[in-house]
A = this chain, B = another copy of it.
Amino acid sequence: MSCLSCRPTSLIKYLALLLPLISPLSVSAFEYLQPLPSRAPEPADNPSSAAKIGLGRSLFFDTELLGVNSKISCNSCHNLAQGGDDNRALSPGQNGRSTQRSAPSLWNIGFQTVLYWDGRTTSLEQQTLDHLRNPVISAWPNIGAMVSHLAAQPNYQQHFAATFNTGRTENIPAPDEVTGARVAQAMSSFLRSLLATRSPFDRYLAGDAGAISSSAKRGIEAFNESGCLACHFGANFAGPAPGPALKMGDGFYELFPNNLGSDYEHRYHLATDLGRYAFTGDPGERYMWRVPPLRGVAVTAPYFHNGAVASLEEAIRVMGKTQFGKDLNKETVRDIAAFLNSLTGEMLAVSATPR
């Protein structure tokens, strides 16, 4: 995960580059502003390969992955052509059921250090299996039934064997090349490949002074001065990478809402869901949430875990009030929104078959 850690040396370059352009911006802010790395970190036991990414892509778009009569694929809720989410508050699942929290974008998901709104896992592979075992998402009675369905298809047999069996000499029957763990590995490699690069902000960091507007430049400062950058920093603007032992505060904001009882909270029902507490039952984790990433945020409305807030500017106002007790003025909101808009990278067309 080293590529997610602060890289003071290279940041000094950006610092030197930017200081003349937007002054006065505190030095500390720059330590928190990072360009999108060129590659997402990978676990040692699942190095990416073109074959895995291709297989994961096929699974991602397969409408039968989640059930033979499923109306939905992974792409239904995480629509890669629409910002990586479905622009709904909650998503329709299997058998008329609804998800309980808003589907996040999958673009740049490989840079998330904790997953789910409550940060319940740090592993994309585990997250994939959790999704496939969730009866709201998958219509299969269990992982084995899903694997059996895939393994019965000669094209998948061939695809899995070619992807995972390189160099092996054992005579494993082709259907047995399909396993739950390999589904998770291929899917995760595909997810790690979803990089939305060349955002205006990244081009600006790389030296193109005109890549973002003056309003966006003021927005960077306002984002820092308002306190947002204290949590939303790093490659994905979602906080630091957790250390060997994941602790609260590493990759999580303390509280959302931080100031309970605001009008916004009531209007948008922001305190109905108790966050991580719902999963763990630890009272110290009431209203504790993963810091959501901000890259691509402009195209992934509606906002917050319940998707209750429709516009980016309103979401900024809500955050100012609930987190800092501040009524952000119109100009500040507009500038921060301009900055956040500059974080939308190029989301290349992705389809079930390779381009």
Contacts and interface: CB of A to CB of B under 8 A. Distances in A.
Contacts of A331: none
Contacts of A311: none
B176 A281 contact: no
A239 B261 CA distance: 56
Nearest to A181: B282
A179 B282 contact: yes
B179 A283 contact: yes
Nearest to A283: B176
Contacts of A181: 280-282
A278 B179 CA distance: 11
A180 B278 CA distance: 10
A176 B147 CA distance: 43
A183 interface: yes
A279 B142 contact: yes
Interface in A157-189: 175-176, 178-181, 183
User: Oligomeric state, in number of copies?
Assistant: 2
A180 B143 contact: no
User: Which size class do A's interface residues fall under?
Assistant: 20 to 34
Interface in A210-256: none
A146 B135 CA distance: 21
Interface in A276-297: 277-284, 286
Nearest to A135: B135
A338 interface: no
Interface string A64-101: 00000000000000000000000000000000000010
B147 A179 contact: no
Nearest to A176: B283
Contact of A180 (B135, B147, B179, B281): B281
A68 to B, nearest CB: 16
Nearest to A132: B281
A274 interface: yes
Contact of A278 (B143, B277, B279): B143
A154 interface: no
A144 B278 contact: yes
A151 interface: yes
Contacts of A143: 278-281
A151 B283 contact: yes
A350 interface: no
Contacts of A281: 143-144, 146-147, 178-181, 183
A348 interface: no
A12 interface: no
A278 B140 CA distance: 10
A178 B284 CA distance: 11
A278 B176 contact: no
Contacts of A274: 144
Contact of A145 (B175, B176, B179, B278): B278
18 contacts: A141-B278, A142-B279, A143-B278, A143-B280, A144-B278, A144-B279, A144-B286, A145-B278, A146-B281, A147-B277, A151-B283, A179-B282, A179-B283, A180-B280, A180-B281, A180-B282, A181-B281, A181-B282
